[in-house]
Structure 1
Amino acid sequence: MRVGIPVFPGSNCDRDVGWVVESVLGHEAVYLWHSERDLKNVDCIIIPGGFSYGDYLRAGAMAKISPITEAICEFAEKGGLVMGICNGFQILLEAGLLPGAMLPNKTLSFICKFVHLRLENNEIPFTRLYKKGEVLKIPIAHAEGNYTCPEETLKEIEENGQVVVRYCSPEGVVSEDYNPNGSLNNIAGICNKRGNVFGLMPHPERASEAILGSEDGLRMFKSIVESITKV
């Protein structure tokens, strides 16, 4: 399987994702430069975290108009699997592949720590190896992870099951006490209606080996592999 990993000026998690793809899973990582449109016949796209274009204007605002993002949008429209992690999630929002937007964290500060997530939707290609309601331990590292959207959009994504993961307690309790950034309804990650585009603020690539303190993120990557290879 060939996994496309876009590289923007300021990306800093592209090699982390590549390590999981190649060294942990044994598949091929294909790095895609931001100024190109050629996706090189990849089977899926994982947009990594970092600070694309220095987060100038807004996080992801400049990356959305890059040639590679335009190609990714076309890929997604055709049903291709696209996952965005942290800044990758912000780019998906800016590009209109996912609904809503990001605001600065409620603390107005950068937050880097492990959090707990409740898995809300295990029926998409990125989460099929999890159990619904399962609690995951995965780290966050962001300054703009405060997910927001209009009230009608929030109602729609909740009713459609598009909320994939929420911030919660270690026991799975969803409350404001366990909301690190102020995100609406404790939302940590969402998908589109078709389920082929998924964005989340936590970093599953940083929770894919025991030496990192958690392996709870690895099944997201394994889910992608199984979804593609078993079609």
Structure 2
Amino acid sequence: MTDPHGFLRTPRRPVPARPAEERLSDWNEIYAGQSLLPLVSEQAGRCMDCGIPFCHSGCPLGNLIPEWNAYAARGDWWAAAERLHATNNFPEFTGRLCPAPCEEACVLTINADPVTIKNVEQAIADQIWERGYATPQPPQRLSGMTVAVIGSGPAGLAAAQQLTRIGHTVAVYERADRIGGLLRYGIPAFKMEKRHLDRRIEQMRAEGTRFRT
């Protein structure tokens, strides 16, 4: 089989991890974020922008994967952030925690390693915050309607953010002492540091979402 574009010659690489002696000193994430950028540029460029992108159907959120892959390959992080946020309120969570069924659906798996879509998503999400693209988006006007969201897990937070941004007054109720649900108490820090959750909650507060623990 010929391979004029080099897709088969670019295998999946292991994601760089922090040295063991450094990891022993804290509970932080195993993988260092900035070390993903060279891998991301290479892997995003492997995306073939298929006529029928099966990664869309493989992703439970319906993420626009070929679109933000194209922007990430060129280093256009603003456009990549816009396309990623179009279908995903919290890509910094899913980029770290999702089991990546999109990669199993990647067309390249027919005869090669898939694009490391999860790593690309995480890198874009991190760039969104590092470059200041995740600014609060308070509504321009209020609808006069009040909504209560029960539970502050990822689904509750996403619903609350969408409802707040279109002008409803939203209160999130959580039975635990802190906001976050599964993200707070079910995910260990080495998988996702809680600072990612805390800064997103602060963004939601700035947009007008209220929290009741």
**What range describes the TM-score normalised by the shorter chain of this pair?**
under 0.3
Q: TM-score, normalised by structure 2?
A: 0.23
Instruction: Look at both structures and tell me which one has the larger radius of gyration over its CA atoms.
Output: 2
Q: Greater share of strand residues, 1 or 2?
A: 1
Q: Greater share of helix residues, 1 or 2?
A: 2
